[in-house]
Amino acid sequence: MSQRVRRAIVGITAAVIAVLGLAQPALAHGFSSTVYVNVTSGDEGRIRTTLQLEYDLFVVSTADYEKDDSLFKAGTAAFDAGDKDAQEAALDAHKASAVSYVTKRFSVASGGKACSPAQVGAFAMTQREGVPYAGLTLDWTCAEGDDDHTVRGGLFPDAEGYVKGTKTIVTYDVDGRSGSAALDAEHPSFSISQTWYERFWEFFRLGAEHLLTGIDHILFLLALIAGSRRPREIVLAATSFTLAHSVTFMLAALGVVDVPSRVVEPVIALSIAVVAGWYLWRIWRRRGHATDIETSGDSHFSLDRAGWTRLGVVFCFGLVHGLGFAGALGIDAAWSWTLLWSLLVFNVGIEAVQLAIIALVFPLLIVLRRRSPAAGLWATGAISAGVAAMGMVWFVQRAFGL
């Protein structure tokens, strides 16, 4: 292979990865917002909803939509000061604007007829992954004689220009029916009487979309693929990653483990650089032996010490990625079999996309390696170099808040 072709492979691959990476925010999970809603049966046949909304986004969006400059000044000053009492006071002093903003974008209906909301108590501040959240409780009075309740969420839409792709995670326990649902712009509503397969599809889709839109997790997977020479090697690496992130995902989502995102996100970025750099190091050590490095199909495949070490590294980083997956879902309801089911389905959605990427990319690399070991070496080296560079860029951005 000519030097010009080699340079072209490296340049094109690095450019594609850089464009994908730089098109994403420094925190791949932090440029969107998640609204959390708990729906229960209230007094006298009412429906009670307890919403938790990201405080600074709530203040800015409400002030902008309701043209309430005094809320913006008081709310942002309280946010900058980190004063929980001042944050609650700012919202309580402007509750008409705040409640109006929510009820124009979040609603409950019964039998196709809108229910009437009323605020219960004052606003209450909480923390989620170190981020202030405002709690708002509403009681909805619905028409009598119909228990087919529909919940619709459209808070913090893309059109406002502050965040992209807001998710609304709903847990409910109403009239003996319990479960979870995930709402977004494409799927803004659900019926509490929904079937089990409708719930399955919602969380499967949410998991699949999270991996597809999380370029950091995709680049980590590409680094694993590029650094694996044989089908069994990528299967072991992917299985190690899956087992690890499944453990911490479930523990974190159920509230057993709690690690701040300011720790998780930089480590995820570092894991991308380390796994990609591992393969580059192996190439450098065995430079001049492309056939040896890229050989596949060895019938006596076994892991050497380096192979086991790589699996151990992948497993450890998989534990951290699981915390990142859990941060996207963020359910903190009490443990239940229904909640566990939703979490498992979310994880299945993640795994389905992961397997699809492996099934698409890895066979192409095998064909290239068999036809031209040198070309395969340069292609995988270029992928690893681009991924490692992007991982380091993200690490610096996330670690130092750039």
How do the domains of the chain map onto residue ranges?
3-29+214-400, 34-204
CA nearest 321: which of 341, 351, 342, 345? 351
CA nearest 40: which of 167, 172, 135? 172
pTM of this structure: 0.62
Cα–Cα distance, 402 to 398 (Å, whole number): 7
Q: Which long-range contacts (CB under 8 A, 24 or more apart) does 396-401 make?
A: 397/26, 397/269, 398/26, 398/27, 398/262, 398/265, 398/266, 398/269, 399/266, 399/269
Q: In tens digits, what is the pLDDT along the chain, a chain of 402 residues? A: 455 545 544 554 555 455 445 444 444 444 678 899 999 988 877 899 999 999 999 999 999 999 999 999 999 999 999 999 999 999 999 999 999 999 999 999 988 889 999 999 999 999 886 789 999 999 999 887 666 789 999 999 999 989 888 889 888 888 778 777 878 888 888 888 766 676 677 778 878 887 887 788 888 888 888 878 778 888 888 888 888 888 888 787 677 787 877 788 888 888 888 888 888 887 777 655 545 555 444 444 455 666 778 788 889 988 988 887 776 665 555 555 666 777 788 888 888 888 898 888 888 888 887 888 777 777 788 888 888 888 888 888 888 866
- Residues 33, 166 contacting (CB under 8 angstroms): yes
